[in-house]
Chain A
Amino acid sequence: MIKKILNFITGYVLVAIHGDGVDRFINICMSKKLHIWSIKKDKNKTLLYVSRSDFYKFDSFVEKTGVEISVIKSCGIPFIYEKNKKRKCFVIGFFIFLFLVWKFTTFVWDINISGEAGYSAEEIEKNIKQNYVKIGTKITDVNCSDLEKILRDEYSDIAWISCEIKGTQLNIKLTETILPEDIEKQSKPCNIVASKDCIISDMIIKNGTGMFETGAEVKKGDIIITGVVNIYNEYDELIETNYVPASGIVYGQSKMSYEDEFELSHYVKNYTGKKKEYYGIIYNDNLFEPLKYDMSYNNCDIITNYNSVRIFDTFYLPVTYKKTIVSEYEPELATYSEEEAIKKAKNKLNEYISALKKKGVEILQNNVKIYVKNDKCISTGYLVVKEIVGIPFELSTFEQGD
């Protein structure tokens, strides 16, 4: 392999030799220690490879042995250079291109965030771009371990985070804590109060005194864990009252009403097949779009895609490619069948439930009824949910002094 690379760098020629003195010619080459290889007979001619420098020594042997030589192909960098000598601009442009590509590899052009759940990737990305790693920062200026530390401090719910630079992309992988949301630690004396009317289903007290038992019904604003801690002696006499920041996790069970309705008649988009495509390039927040949109369609969908220009998977360039497709459609009035309507309503309800689950709400019962009445699909009922209901509420001076 190394030999092949060296041969390519120095250049080599595949030649065909004809005539009676071929064997003599080869023996002379051998005795003169010329660099020839892969000697092979092909019909009436002999093929061999010779290095570029030794090829020019052939002339004297050709006369001696009376053979004819024809060049079949010439390979290697010196020959490529010879061929492209006249195309100076092309060669210079090619090297400038190589230089720019190499130069661009030394900057961060894209940030990719994965593994987020509670936080949005856009939110984290925006924060990083504004405060820590701007797009176009030199890769050598990015300290991944420092960035990990900063992000871990800033986003308290991050359990694990890893930052690495692949190509020109800053990859951030994170895992958020899956433990139930802890109540923010308070430094001042406070109570834990109910955020809504509910039945207490579970309670973990870390600090303070519990005012209700599990299963008790509480109203919004009721103190569940108090920060007023009374200390009694053995004769049940109050000897001291301490005011502490109450803390703990209180789960409450409550009913959450769900109402939704939509008309059975609706418009469907019938695409006519007519569409127009527009292209643009964004560099350094400047958009270059040669064509303006033609808005001659009465009804149309405009879909725009932005793609970062990249070479391979992770080598991003500071150029974004914009593609806009304007598709014409004719609106047509349609009506959902009862089955279709119920299916759609169920899907909407499932989406609503999924969103609640993402927030950490547990669904205990689903009592939502879906039916069709007066050309409308109606979903009505309630969900029995279990969620964190205890929130800190600062102790008033009256309570403290009382």
Chain B
Amino acid sequence: MTRVTLIDQKKVYIDGYKTVMSIDDNKIAIDCKNKILEINGSNLSILLFTGIEMTVTGMISSIEWK
């Protein structure tokens, strides 16, 4: 199970990810086992991660499951 927590438009915590598919300034795609989580926005970056948890920061405009 993947848990996604959004704080304002500035931070997203993703708990239970598998791999990072792509990193871009406007989009970060993360493989969450069964689905792909797409975070859109501007000035995005992966602030830090542990083996199971990841923090993405930036100006977040949308989060989509694909």
Residues of A in contact with B (beta carbons under 8 Å apart): 22-23, 26-27, 30-31, 33, 36-42, 46
B53 CB to closest chain A CB, in angstroms? 11
CB neighbours (8 Å) of A41 from chain B are 23-25, 44-45
Partner of B19, one of A30, A40, A42, A46: A30
A27 adjacent to B45 (CB under 8 Å): no
Residues of B in contact with A (beta carbons under 8 Å apart): 19-25, 44-51
User: Who on chain A is nearest to B26 by CB?
Assistant: A41
Q: Select the residue from A26, A31, A39 with max chain B CB neighbours within 10 A.
A: A39
CA distance A37 to B56 in the complex (A): 10
CB neighbours (8 Å) of B24 from chain A are 41
CA distance A38 to B57 in the complex (A): 9
B21 adjacent to A23 (CB under 8 Å): yes
B37 CB to closest chain A CB, in angstroms? 14
A37 adjacent to B20 (CB under 8 Å): no
A37 adjacent to B21 (CB under 8 Å): no
B40 CB to closest chain A CB, in angstroms? 13
Q: Select the residue from A23, A37, A41 with max chain B CB neighbours within 10 A.
A: A41
CA distance A244 to B48 in the complex (A): 90
Partner of A30, one of B20, B21, B44, B47: B20
Contacts known (A37-B47, A38-B47); A27 close to B19, Cβ less than 8 A: yes
A23 adjacent to B48 (CB under 8 Å): no
In the complex, given contacts A23-B19, A33-B50, what are 4 additional A-B residue pairs having Cβ atoms less than 8 angstroms apart?
A: A23-B21, A26-B20, A27-B19, A27-B20
A38 adjacent to B51 (CB under 8 Å): no
User: Who on chain B is nearest to A47 by CB?
Assistant: B45
CA distance A99 to B51 in the complex (A): 44
CA distance A362 to B65 in the complex (A): 91
